[in-house]
């Protein structure tokens, strides 16, 4: 059973380090036989939240917002790649995510986190898990933390060093966890409509 997973990334910084992690994850999901698409908040470039997607009249949302809403509705699951900004996720990722609500409902999500230091972004992940759960996603217990992101990938975007090796070793179990929940949610939706 092939799964389609959206991989969200939210840094707007000039010298983005985490984009290499997000791109690697997209490739690693593909190598397992599923499809993945990178949704880069900087490329989508939604404005600071003024109106949620659902607050526009049907067909009245900006084109980029409408296109992303369709992608979210059609995805089997989500993977959020977040850096740690003052113990929280990137503002760009939060802003992009907040434009939607019902579109997220009843699908699983997983979190990959990173930081420049050894804490691997886990402090940002803790709050982000609550946020995603509040938005109607079932968030997996497995996380994919990457410390010292600046040295975890080589110039070709391949994992390197101790931190890269930990990523490669951890990814299969992390992906298995997300896939299990995706399959469980698909099976349940096939049997019964969500309660709301």
| Residue 177 placed within a domain | yes
- Within a domain: 36: yes
Q: What mean pLDDT is predicted for residues 94-114?
A: 97
Confidence band, pLDDT 50/70/90 cuts, at residue 131: very high
Q: Which residues pair with 9 in a beta bridge?
A: 40, 81
Which helix (H) or strand (E) is 145 found in, with range? Answer: strand 138-146
Q: Is 130 helix (H, G, I), strand (E, B) or coil?
A: helix
Band (pLDDT 50/70/90 cuts) for residue 1 is: low
CB proximity list for 82: less than 8 A, separation 6 or greater: 10, 18, 89, 90, 93, 111, 112, 113, 114, 121, 124, 125, 128
196 located within any domain: no
* CATH number, domain containing residue 70: 3.40.50.360
Q: Are 116 and 150 in contact (CB under 8 A)?
A: yes
pLDDT in tens, 42-68: 999 999 999 999 999 999 999 999 999
Which range of residues forms the domain containing residue 128? 4-191
**pLDDT above 70 as % of the chain:** 99
- Domains in the chain, number: 1
User: Does residue 187 fall inside a structural domain?
Assistant: yes
Structure pTM? 0.96
Is pLDDT at 28 greater than 80 in this prediction? yes
Whether 63 is in a domain gets the answer yes
On whether residue 101 sits in a domain, the answer given is yes
């Amino acid at each position: 059973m092939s799964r389609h997973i959206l991989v969200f990334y939210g840094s707007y910084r000039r010298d983005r380090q985490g984009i290499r992690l997000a791109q690697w994850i997209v490739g690693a999901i593909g190598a397992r036989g599923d499809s993945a698409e990178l949704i880069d908040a900087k490329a989508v470039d939604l404005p600071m939240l003024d109106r949620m997607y659902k607050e526009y009249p049907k067909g009245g949302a900006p084109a980029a917002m409408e296109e992303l809403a369709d992608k979210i509705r059609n995805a089997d699951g989500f993977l959020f790649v977040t850096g740690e900004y003052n113990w929280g996720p990137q503002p760009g990722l939060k802003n992009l995510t907040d434009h939607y609500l019902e579109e997220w409902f009843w699908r699983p999500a997983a979190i990959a986190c990173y930081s420049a230091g050894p804490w691997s972004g886990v402090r940002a992940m803790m709050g982000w898990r609550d946020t995603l759960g509040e938005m109607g996603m079932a968030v997996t217990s497995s996380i994919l933390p990457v410390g010292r992101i600046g040295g975890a990938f080589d110039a070709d975007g391949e994992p390197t060093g101790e931190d890269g090796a930990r990523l490669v070793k951890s990814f299969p179990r992390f992906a298995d966890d997300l896939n299990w929940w995706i399959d469980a949610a698909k099976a349940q939706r096939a049997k019964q409509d969500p309660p709301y």
